[in-house]
Amino acid sequence: MSTSAPAVRFQSVYKAFIARERAAQPILALEDISFVANPGEFVSLVGPSGCGKSTCLNLVAGLTAPSAGLVEHQGARVSGVNTKVGYITQDDNLLPWRSLVGNVELGLEFRGVPAPERRRRARELIDVVGLIGFEHHYPHELSGGMRKRASIVRTLVYDTDVVLMDEPFGPLDAQTRVILQAELQNLWQRSRPSVLFVTHDLVEAIALSDRIIVFTNRPGTIKREYRVDLPRPRDIFHIHETPGFSDLYDALWADIRAEIGAAHAPVAGERIA
């Protein structure tokens, strides 16, 4: 992993989406976004719904292009689909016709890793997340938490230097979320990829992150950045009791609450029903 350049860099990035109706004005999603994610750094993006957090991930993945500005991965401009990064979404996207181990091996198979080596690496991470014994089960035979574990290790198994995560635990129940947060922390500490993590859960952001970037309402701009100085490894199950947690949570929530309030404030001259 190169340390001569940020793992990810946004420089004065704007992103507008063209509405389907020809007469409609373009929708500006991001406005003058500049930040970096350093090698081995876990960075969370938080903010109101629709503020462009997921769009940032799609720009790094090359699934869409900036309207203006520069997005770089390891010092090189992202100019097309970026197959060098991993992307974990809310959906597990497991292939239903492949077993758990077959799904985890998929990326290694695409990269031409010999079968014995990819099976060894897949089984190693399957063991780390407690799924030994389910290697030959198919996705429909697994719980939601099991499928999410499989999707995470499928991405991490081929040692990508940057992992994009878009609310990966959003659909899960509260207990499963906390368990998977702890497992993600352990997996991340094994190889320390740079992570860009989108979440609406401020507790989750604090528990996992080195740095948290707060976005404003659309068009999304960066309102503030917070460094999370809580010691690692963190006790995810008792993170609320960690000194410094409450102050950081209150500051983050004050920023988010102000943006939510601004989004619902009446426009000058508008009547309030």
Neighbours of 213 (CB within 10 A): 22
Residue 146 lies in a domain: no
| Mean local confidence (pLDDT), 229-248 | 95
pLDDT of 273 higher than 80: no
In a domain, 216, yes or no: yes
> Domain tally for the chain?
1
| Residue 172 in domain | no
Quote the tokens at residue 269. Answer: 């001259």
Is 30:13 a contact under the CB 8 Å cutoff?
A: yes
Q: Confirm whether 156 is domain-assigned.
A: no
Residue that is written with structure tokens 């010999």 in the block: 114
- The answer as to whether 153 is a domain residue is no
Residue pLDDT, tens place only, 186-195? 889 988 999 9
Neighbours of 107 (CB within 10 A): 20
Distances 150 to 93, 105, 142 between C-alpha atoms, Å: 10, 10, 10
Instruction: Give 136-156 pLDDT, tens digit per residue.
Output: 999 999 998 899 889 988 888
pTM, two decimals, is: 0.89
Looking up tokens 């503030």 gives 224
Residue 227 within any structural domain of the chain: yes
Whole-number pLDDT of residue 156: 86
* Domain assignment of residue 164, yes or no: no
Q: What is the CATH number of the domain that holds 68?
A: 3.40.50.300
CA distance 170 to 199: 8
Tokens describing residue 220: 């999304």
Residue 23 lies in a domain: yes
Question: Cα–Cα distance between 106 and 168 in angstroms, integer?
Answer: 19
pLDDT of 250 > 50? The answer is yes
Cis check for the bond before 116: say yes or no (omega within 30 of 0): no
Can you give the residue range of the structural domain that contains 44? 1-79+196-264
Q: What is the DSSP letter of 110?
A: H
